Structure 1
């Protein structure tokens, strides 16, 4: 298996200091291709304060001249390396296992590439992710070791995407629309005027979804 570099602990952004985290649920934010940990951290003021939000930086550098960081390499419109996807998902889980402390649960929220990693993490360890939010992302179109177990556990997943999103291939969108209902408890929405981005309307839907997870007993 391709081994991804460990996540850099010096660039992680936390919404609360160590002494204020306790057993509060952890919400891990996974940015998109060519971005960094500061991107999704800007959403924190709009998310339920009960979560301890933490934004991490992807371990890879995109191909020049793209700035920022990536979870896996993109060669052309369609090509992605499944080994890199799995390796990055493993790297995030490895980091979470070291820092989660007494967190009551772990939820995942990713945008674009980060959404792919959020779902891949859930597919690797179906019982360890309380839920996933996939914004403008997709389910990677390769079987994963935990897919059968995931279909039994059926954790909650919110999938939001824009009808005008021209970044994500229709092939990936179609696969995700077919695959998710058979593996998770799916909710979500297609936003008619949204491109490859997050709107205020979508962010409000995400907040409602996250609040619902707080009210749902785990285990």
Structure 2
């Protein structure tokens, strides 16, 4: 059985791009369920120059790819599994980004739920957290409470025709991040489905530039 600190998972497999300066701001990309670090890293070429980019492979093999947690339905993590994988991930993140190194997390789909878990655990631990076409991990042992994200900065993106993530979870996520949580949130909606558009990447890039103060 996996330990609560995630110690039985293999060391993270990480794809990197951008600067190799270990003190530079870091953008961490989290792939969707059944995907891998190489696919999500293709986004880095459309995002701002300046930061280091790291795409981490999720620790659970699934469907020819990898997953961030066991689930009990789409967008509904098993609490014990999520606790184990977030402990594994934060051990890696604390090593590569000690206090003082700005970090932005950006997750897509299943990676968005995982990014949301890290946000709920450490609301102000990162310079920003992006939740793209995914849900916060409701009912998974983490506090999703009114005002619980005061001081946090988030980016939420959804498609009106997204039929992958249950609409009820998408709506709850949108409402919480844009109104109930107290976070400072930039939001993006488009008429499409469960995918990343060029318009989304432009807005996301602007937000990353703002959060990491790259315009200096």
Superposed displacement of residue 76, structure 1: 4.1
Paired position in structure 2 for 1:28: 28
Residues 83-92 or 22-31, more deviating: 83-92
When residues 29 and 78 of structure 1 are mapped into structure 2, their CA distance, relative to the original with a 3 A threshold, is closer
| Distance in 2 between residues matched to 1:169 and 1:150, nearest whole Å | 24
| Distance in 1 between residues matched to 2:14 and 2:39, nearest whole Å | 12
| Distance in 1 between residues matched to 2:102 and 2:10, nearest whole Å | 20
Q: 13, 16, 21: which is aligned to 1:14?
A: 16
Which stretches in structure 1 are left out of the alignment for 5+ residues?
none
Other structure's SS at 2:65 match: coil
Q: TM-score, normalised by structure 1?
A: 0.85
Normalized per residue, the structure richer in helix is 1
Deviations 1:19-74 (A, max 9, x none): x3132111111100000000110011111111111000000122xxx220001123
Superposed displacement of residue 79, structure 1: 4.8
Paired residue total: 208
Other structure's SS at 1:165 match: coil
Other structure's SS at 1:69 match: strand
What is the correspondence of 1:119-134 to structure 2 with a 5 Å cutoff? 119-134=116-131
Which stretches in structure 2 are left out of the alignment for 5+ residues?
none
Q: 114, 137, 142: which is aligned to 1:140?
A: 137
Paired position in structure 2 for 1:190: 189
| Distance in 1 between residues matched to 2:61 and 2:27, nearest whole Å | 24
Q: 51, 76, 86: which is aligned to 1:89?
A: 86
